[in-house]
Amino acid sequence: MAVLSIVMHPAEILEKECEPVRQFDKKLKILLNDMYETMLAADGVGLAAPQIGIDQQIAVVDIGDELGRINLINPIIIEKSGEQTDVEGCLSFPGLYGTVSRPYYVKVKAQDVKGRFFYIEAEDYLARAIQHEIDHLHGILFTSKVLKYIDEEDLEGYEGE
Ligand code: NI
């Protein structure tokens, strides 16, 4: 596995609609592994393909819970409910944090590395991380949703991400 370099804002690729994945080949498997390694190396809980310069609908999420690593290929939110507001950050915006409101619960349909469809239900922090990454695949950055920016020193008490 390889640690890739993360694209920092501003960059055109971060604001693009990504292309659906159609080839579920070995290259995709390697890319997902590299993305996961890159995410861990950057101490993140999620990483989307445009953040490593690839305009495809691919993301990895791992918030350190019992589900562990989740590969999301061509993910679609098919159900959402409730509301939560908490602090978010983004590996493409080092040192920037702000509160964002999002649905508390989501049900997502996606494909795995072999192209098999699966559903995942998530709430709270995992739902937030998944929604943040799916936004990336449509060129939507968390800064467009921030209600209030938070100073890095005031982050204590927030989970952060
Ligand atoms: Ni992000």
pLDDT at res. 160: 45
What DSSP designation does 118 have?
E
What is the C-alpha end-to-end distance of the chain, expressed in Å?
23
pLDDT at res. 155: 81
Instruction: Tell me the whole-structure pTM to 2 decimals.
Output: 0.96
* Residue linked to tokens 């695949």: 137
**pLDDT in single tens digits along all 161 residues of the chain:** 899 999 999 999 999 999 999 999 999 999 999 999 999 999 999 999 999 999 999 999 999 999 999 999 999 999 999 999 999 999 999 999 999 999 999 999 999 999 999 999 999 999 999 999 999 999 999 999 999 999 888 887 665 44
Cα-to-chain-centroid distance, residue 158: 19
Domain boundaries, the chain: 12-158
Q: Within 10 A of 45 (CB to CB), how many other CB atoms are there?
A: 24
pLDDT at res. 156: 74
- The hierarchical CATH code for the domain 12-158 is 3.90.45.10
Q: How far is the CA of 142 from the centre of ligand 1 (A)?
A: 7
Q: Which of 19, 133, 153, 156 is catalytic?
A: 133
Q: How far is the CA of 72 from the centre of ligand 1 (A)?
A: 14
Look up 159 and say whether it is catalytic: no
